[in-house]
Structure 1
Amino acid sequence: MTSSSRRSKLFLFSICLSIAALLSGCGSGGSGKTEQADGKINVVTSFYPLYYFAKEIGGDRVHVVNLIAAGVEPHDWTPKSRDLDAVSKAQLFLYNGAGLEGWVDDFLHGLGSDSKVMTVEASKGIQLIQGNPEEGHAGEAKPGHSDLDVDPHTWVSPRSAIVMAANIRDAFVKADPANGKEYDTRYADLEHRLKQLDAKFTQQLSGYERRDIVVSHQAFGYLCRDYKLNQIAIMGLSPEAEPRSQDLLDIAKFVKEHKIPYIFFEELVSEQLADTLASEAHVDTLVLNPLEGLTPEQEKAGETYITLMERNLENLQKALQ
């Protein structure tokens, strides 16, 4: 056996251990708080970005509860009876759609035909990216076996986030027309900040010759589409989707040949797979946050969608140099 073959086998063995550790760490997680508030529009959101947009637009007029607790990966989460109870008592239920919440159809059916809850698919109106995890060639592979027909990670691009925020504004105005002007005003402020963020991404990413980024999870399709980048993903659209051995070898080869300086990982899933691939390719790792949720530490520190996206921009600039 050649030394090259031995290295490949050792690398693949390390990858298998990393995948096992990653999958064993995936749990159903717990729910967030589900209390209601009198005298306000009670809103339930399925995950963090919608919670942030709803809080920013609703202000003191609304009481927002997020189903998924801090530190829980949304792909791993499934609702419980108390979550159905919380939504049944709310005026608005905001979910992403585009296949992110695989449980949502059964969940909404469980509310019953007499339910008065207004349900809002926040991604409505966004041109969705078809999920083709098996397509691509060496260096542009999208490995991993996923049952998602489309890429659900709409919110990761500020441009898509503007559409989602507008859908939430419209729902608030419909649910509480007497305070519509206030929702319009608060939305306009959020829209301004998101447009500033979009302008920063456009301007600060445009000058780099390098356009490839290697990521642990195929979550950045909308960001890459809007800012003309190309993601090479270790995992598929769902972060627990198991990659194929040949794809991993192809990505390691691509990283070496194209002198990719960093491999990105995310905080809500294990970084072992990214670390193993980075070690094989002799490069470093950086965080690229898909903003599916906050860690408890980020929540305590007062981090937001805006601050985390700004940090993503800083790390993208490092990786494109």
Structure 2
Amino acid sequence: MRYTRNLSLLVIAVTVLLAACGNNSGKTLVEGKTNVVTSFYPLYYLASEIGGDNVNVVNLIPAGVEPHDWTPKSQDLTIASKAQLFLYNGAGLEGWTDDFLKGLPKNNGLIAAEMSAGINLIHGNPEDEEEHSDEEHNHDHDLDVDPHTWVSPKSAIIMAGNVKDSLVQADAAHKDEFEANYNELVAKLEALDQEFEAKISAAPHKSIVVSHQAFGYLARDYGLKQIAITGLSPDAEPRAQDLLKVAKFVKSEGIKYIYFEELVSPDLAKTIASETKTKLLVLNPIEGLTPKQEKAGEDYVSLMKQNLQNLLTGLQA
């Protein structure tokens, strides 16, 4: 009986472990395929879609973890050293990249590529800079560039091209398959872009109040004004007068919804919502999937469509 009970417990433990290993967060390499290591979920999505059956994609940051808070472990360095391709966002998102690449064995053949290349980057705070305090700038440390490129479908299209080019560089034998998969993916991203353009341009309001300044590219590309409670780093602490400024803006503009994120504490958004008698809605920067989203089979495109619906709810109000 004890043997049977222990076996049942082992089966349960293994099932739980496997359930937690989506996005290949188990971090296993596969012989006979091009092994691609990605720094976070959006790149995992692009590399998986374009690479198809010819690649094995390992995502470093596991489901439910906020990328700003994550740093690599020695096992991540070991995995990358045995892979053929390492894709990272750049633009200051992964502060650990330089040290990580320096820590790899010399001449190991790994191709490392920055996927935000070619995007017109937003430097410093956007036009509503006066909304943010000097103290907040200090909390942002070296984030002089907004790293949240992928949150705009227009940027995601550029990034998909960078991923495809990097895959071809690492595995030229499968160029035709990569091109075909890329064309299929870009058609989806272009349809998403057109939907954002058409529906947001028709919305009566254009201002959004968000918990974390992660929507600069989305705002720039689709004519929105982003007012953020915290800065480019989600753990930046705003001062009391910053919160008052945001609350004042919400009241003066007649804003009905405050947007929060699932991987970051909603406390500040809740505080503003309570103070201004507004409602809360999710606006997802898609820095990673939650375990629930992963299990439900959500991906970048489906989550961006949810974002659009929530944006339109707020912009209609």
For residues 114-158 of structure 1, the C-alpha deviation after alignment (integer angstroms, 9 at most, x for no partner) is 221000100001010002389623xxx145331201000000000
Counterpart of 2:20 in structure 1 is none
Please name the residue that 2:234 is paired with: 239
Displaced runs of 4 or more, over 4 A: none
Query: What per-residue deviation string (whole Å, max 9, x for no partner) do you get for residues 192-230 of structure 1?
Result: 000000000000000123111000000000000000001
Post-superposition offset of 1:177: 1.1
CA distance in 2, matches of 1:132, 1:116: 38
For residue 122 of structure 1, the aligned residue among 96, 104, 115 is 115
CA contact (8 A) 1:123 1:154 kept: yes
Q: Does 1:276 align with 2:274?
A: no
What's the offset of the Cα at 1:290?
Answer: 0.2
Counterpart in 2 of 1:151? Answer: 146
Q: 1:64 is aligned with what amino acid?
A: V
How does 1:16-35 map onto structure 2 within 5 Å? 32-35=25-28
Contact 1:265–1:285 under 8 Å retained in 2: yes
- Which residue of the partner structure matches residue 311 of structure 1? 306
- Distance (Å, rounded) in 2 between the aligned partners of 1:98 and 1:215: 21
Query: Residue 18 of structure 1 corresponds to which residue in structure 2?
Result: none
Are 1:70 and 2:68 an aligned pair?
Answer: no
CA gap of 1:258–1:134, structure 2 versus 1, over 3 A, is: closer
Residue 124 of structure 2 corresponds to 131
Matched length: 288
1:133 and 1:236 in contact (8 A); partners too: no
Corresponding position of 1:81: 74
Aligned counterpart in structure 2 of residue 219 of structure 1, from 214, 217, 239: 214
Counterpart code for 2:113: V
Give the residue type in structure 2 aligned to 1:282. K
> Conserved in 2, the CA contact under 8 Å of 1:142 and 1:218?
no
Supply the distance in 2 between the matched residues of 1:248 and 1:320 (Cα, whole angstroms): 21
- Return 170-179 or 194-203, whichever deviates more: 170-179
Task: Give the unaligned 5+ runs of structure 1.
Answer: 1-30
The one-letter amino acid of 2:266's match is E
Distance 1:135 1:207, change over 3 A: closer
Q: TM-score, normalised by structure 1?
A: 0.88
Q: How much has 1:248 moved relative to structure 2? A: 0.5
Q: Please state if 1:230 is matched with 2:225.
A: yes
| Counterpart AA for 2:109 | K
Question: Which residue of the other structure, out of 90, 98, 103, is the alignment partner of 1:97?
Answer: 90
Identify if the C-alpha distance between structure 1 residues 87 and 99 changes in structure 2 by more than 3 Å, giving closer, same or farther: same
Alpha-carbon distance, 1:298 to partner: 0.2
Amino acid at match of 2:213: Q
The percent identity for this pair of structures is 62
Specify every segment of 5 or more residues in structure 2 that has no aligned partner in the other structure, as ranges. Answer: 1-23
| Residue correspondence of structure 1 range 163-202 to structure 2 within 5 A | 163-202=158-197
**RMSD (CA atoms):** 1.3
Question: Structure 2 vs 1, CA of residues 161 and 134 (structure 1 numbering), >3 Å: closer, same or farther?
Answer: closer
Q: Which amino acid aligns with 1:126?
A: I
Which of 26, 30, 33 is the aligned partner of 1:37? Answer: 30
Q: Deviations over 1:67-114 (max 9, x none)?
A: 011000000000000000000000000000000000000000001332
C-alpha distance in 1 between matches for 2:155 and 2:170: 23
